[in-house]
Structure 1
Amino acid sequence: MAKLHPGLYAALLTKSLQKLLEPRDFENVIDLEKTEAPTFLSNKLRQLIQRSLESIEGDDAVQQQVLLFNKVLSEVEKWDPQVDDDKLLDDKCRLLEAILRTGQNQKPSAPVTSLVHSSLFTGSRNGPQLFNELIAEMESADRLDILVSFILNSGFRLLRKGFDILQDRKVPVRIITTTYLGATQLEAIEGLAKYSNVQLKISFDKKHTRLHAKAYYFHRNSGFSTAYVGSSNMSDPAMREGLEWNLKVTSQDLPDIIKKFEAEFEGYWNSPIFSTYRQGVDKKKLQEALDISGIRVNSFSQSKFMDVNAYPFQNRILENLDAERMLRGSFKNLVIAATGTGKTVIAALDYRRFVGSNQGRRPKLLFLAHRDEILTQSLDTFRIVLKDANFASQLGGGRPDPANMDHLFCTVQTFHARELWTKLPADYYEYIVVDEVHHSAASSYQGIFDFFKPKILLGLTATPERMDGENILKYFNDRVAAELRLPEALEEKLLCPFQYFCVADPVNISDEKFWDKGKYSQSELEKAYVNNPSSAKQRTDAIFRALDLYCLGDIQSYKGLAFCVSVKHAEFMAQEFNNNGLPSLALHAQSLDEDRKNAVQALINNKIKFIFTVDLFNEGV
């Protein structure tokens, strides 16, 4: 037996263990209490029996394991009259998986994880997603108790299938939550309260309730109850995307934990701290409590010029850029990074490092983009990173030429229209950034690429495939310097989690006339979606039904961006939404810059609910 190491022990004193103890070690040996002995002895016996069962090999291993089991049980029978021959196993060692209810034709889906053994969820992509396991548990539960700090619409949507199943089966559901930090969303609470089998209790206390527990208990009359205890509130990130840890406990494995869970939950349920929520009746009360609780969180302000440092994944890209330049001598660099991972921040940090390599002198910079809105956001990013509110000038959107063009953020259209390269030497700019560089296949970019000779050329894109068959790699030494694609960004949990809902289109567009040269025919789609009154109405009705379903019956609380087939389609849809009480606007590539800005501001200020767009916002709002 291995040498004993100093530390705490809770080991039964076997004969072999006694031989390893020093005389002074016996001072720490105690007699087991009568109430503790069954737990310690059964645990030790389980370990020994399991080891013995696992050691049996051969073609008849299962039969031999059953034989050992029955021999042990026969001995137990001598001491416990409740154990008799009926508890013995037959030679086949079979497992009962379900007993069907009257009228039930097939057994309910079982969770991937065991109903017998406890297990740990860590948010790993290799394991089952928590929300899928919870829905599977719902299919066979006889009662569900939920205790969470907050409930979000995204979490309710994920579990709604399970709640529908529970209602169909008339299974009672009890939910306890709070208004802590104003995080809970009213629509989710109202949606849950509409179920006839669901009871909700909420703490409306704005000051004292600090419920941080997150737990889901699935009681089964069969005796195979399970519970999930950990860090996941009822939200999409917590149950699907986040690095949350949750322990699944089974009544077969840890019955004492299950009993304690039941007792604690009953205590909370009967506590005056938590009030019964009545659907519709308490809606205003809940909204007021959420608003008040959320004030403290929303009142924090941050300094605009904070210290901006790269995230690890951005550092990897910056290090790749260094390697391209220092080791390979390549100073024309293409970076592919998924939308939302901070391409502009990467460019600003790279430029800041370039400034550092020039002893603090700011090399002349040209930043090009195809839309004025992108330029404004990008210039703000550079100013924050460089901590200089006056850094650079912006040209585009009808602005006059700036007096100083040393650091210039300019739309490609303006740069091309004013032929600015004819006013500057080829080596004027030392650092040039081309944002959304997949547009560079357009002729308006050619003069810029052909004329200027910067020390560093940096191209940024999330979608290099969208270049109309043209090759942009030729401008970047035919190589990609650094790459962070969407699957990798999602896997590393770098992006805001989205919920995707696939809604069937009731208009049949499988006919060949809808297909033209490998793409959908815009004109034919427009006829079906706009010009044909019957199919157009059929489709808009389906859209409104889907919105009502996924917005939990409260569309007015949501804002949306809709991508349309054509300008006529966008205008038609905006009108349909306006007719249904949802203020909306249509925007397209020909819309004036002022109209675009006003529309986005109106959406922010809640003056409109939806923007229907064509060829806009494809690279972000």
Structure 2
Amino acid sequence: MDMGMNAVTKDLIERLNVNDQDLMGIDIIVSFIKLSGYKQLEPMLKDALRRSIPVRVLTSTYMNVTEPAALSELYNLLGEGNVRLYNGRAPSFHPKAYFFKSKEKYQSYVLVGSSNISRVALTNGIEWNYQVEASVDQDSYDYYMEQFEYLFKYDSYALDTEKISEYRRTLILPDAERKISRINEHYNKYRQNNNYKKRLSNLFEPNQSQTEALIELKRTKNEGNDKALVVVATGVGKTFLAAFDSMDYKSVLFVAHREEILNQAYDTFAKVRGSEDLGRVFNGYQEVDKKIVFASVQSLSRKEHITKFEFNNFEYVIIDEFHHASSPSYKRIIDYFKPKFLLGLTATPHRLDRKDVFEICDYNVAYETDLFSAINRDWLAPFRYYGIYDGTVDYGKVRYINGRYVEDELSKAVSTDDRSKLIFKHYMKHQRKHTMAFCSSIDHAEYMADYFNSNGIKSVTIHSQISRKYCADRTIGIEKFITGEIEVIFSVDMLNEGVDIPVIDLILLLRPTESPTVFFQQLGRGLRHSAGKRNLKILDFIGNYKNVEMIPFWLSGEVTTDSKKKEEVIKKLIDQENIPVDCYIDFDFEVVNIFKEMIHKKVKIIDEIKELYVSCKEELGHIPSRMEFFESLSDIQYRSIKAQSKVNPFNKYLDFLSTMELGYLSGDFINSDAYKFINMLETTGMSKLYKMPILLAFYNKGSFKIKINKDEVCQSFYEFYQNERNAVDLDRHKNTNNYKTWKKNDYWKLALDNPIHFLCKTHDDIFEYDNMTEIMNIKLNLTSWYKNDFFLYHVEDTIHFRRSNFLDQLLSNKDNKS
């Protein structure tokens, strides 16, 4: 290319440099930005910032072409206020211009033309651009500059992490890109060949979702967080993501509960890291001397195995299928190791899972892409869901204990000739080549396989009882299924996780689906793309079972406690509103009636609370603390409870316990100032977390203090804000977001102006502050109680609950905005 010419038809990137020593600023306006293009520009941008040359970028989400990962990278590099998105009234947004402003105005110029920020547009694509120099055509240069300034200041809004997350969640891939393999075949012949060559030379590179997640994980680590959760739909590539993110760590522990997941992870990490220093702690292996270890939770949680490792043995710990993490065996592992960073992976969205899962990662969801987002962006195949009425089973006659149907009774109820006929009739109506069916038990799976084989459909079961008539070896059975020798696989739980069979094109849900985790796992088995597969069909056989009314909310991703809004969600699904691109949802009218009947079923909220409490107690084996009860609830359950403030047990948990546990509170305690103090902790207003460090200073790690001085308050504030998650209030205000550089008096000013002031004002019968001595004092008579274990237990539990509830509500509110 002739660098002396003003016309540029390729390799624009060679003109975009900061060699001019008098360069004073760079402004860029483009219709869209791709990550590939950002990577081309990044060296130039970093060079400019290193020389303190300001850079501003104006782009758009017009036509959904801009990639969220590119916005994240650009925002993280340029900082707040320097990247803006167009939101003017114009129906389209197509400008492409690169301004280089020099100290001497006549040396300034702008490159105007066709190149957006993508690798092809900046390098070997056919693009026409022209360099307008101020020294030659000052009027044109000035006009372009004025237009940029106006659009940047008045017709755009500043980009931030929240807007990037919102765009990511609502993004729908343009139809032209979704159908790239079905249109323009001749035109794209060169591009496809070129991409194929690129893939051969870079076999293991992050996909779009993994790239976005890696950017967000890097950001959360830079902010000081030492643990995070990533929520990605099944089939998007959680294991490869973990392998890519592990590259900065020398020692890694990967924990899962199934050998299939561990074997896949072992192979994935070996490919990505190119290392042979990998070991296994499962299935009889005890390769504990390796830097990268893959361990089953069953093996590693045993004392004789876990103690072979030092607590700081691993810099990076990954917990796969994190929805299991609250179980005792998982918690034993999580509590034992002290890594530099802990990563949890799950496919179940925050709003649908139990709260204990998110508490373990301190409510820090670094990245989330749900089923809808993954389908809209063509990472997963679209689905056609049919909710089929199944009146052959009366689930009301099957005993329901501890949140589950009794397996033997359920298995008999669903293994009938009438039900099998119904299932087979609909199977034949929707028949495809590769069908996966999920059953309630091994007996049920065997029964269904027998029925289908008797009717000429080659079927096997895959489960743990290999000696059963239709049970196939897992590996052989799946191989025959892929080749078409087997038409249907009936399974129970074994194939919910850790299996990748993209050819699945029909799923039969033959069991009551009571858990969102299982629901998404089973759908995820068939949503992977495969050659010739246009979509996945799902036949869900629905009766009057427990939690059946939750299916519309699992499908829609919407959560509400209002009966009318619940009916609106169902209507939207029936009308095909708010569902992913190319998807279809259909319910038999009898199924819709079941949903509505369950929604309007008059169950007193207090009875529901008591039932949930009893279930939690039975699961734990002891009286639940506030935190334990709170963590056992799903988001929708907690919202239902919170909406009824008069019966919300968390407002006065001690009173609630006294109604549930006879004799739990003694008369002396109920009439004491200790009871009054805990009641204050439960009910004090808290729009921010500022009161927490004060209350923790009084609690003093179990050595309760009646008085706290300036030094103790400042130390408590300092320790509290060492945890990045606690600093959410400080981070979002300009006058406090520099808290990491604060000295003692800065913390003291915050304490005086906020929690000390408001606690003494609102609870003047409990607290007082002396300006002369700079001491805050509890006025209550706690002499008989401040060393009492029962009192200290509830003080600590209440403080823990108030903090966790606050952070959880922030996360829930973030979900609601999207």
Normalising by structure 2, report the TM-score.
0.35
Q: Which has the larger radius of gyration?
A: 1
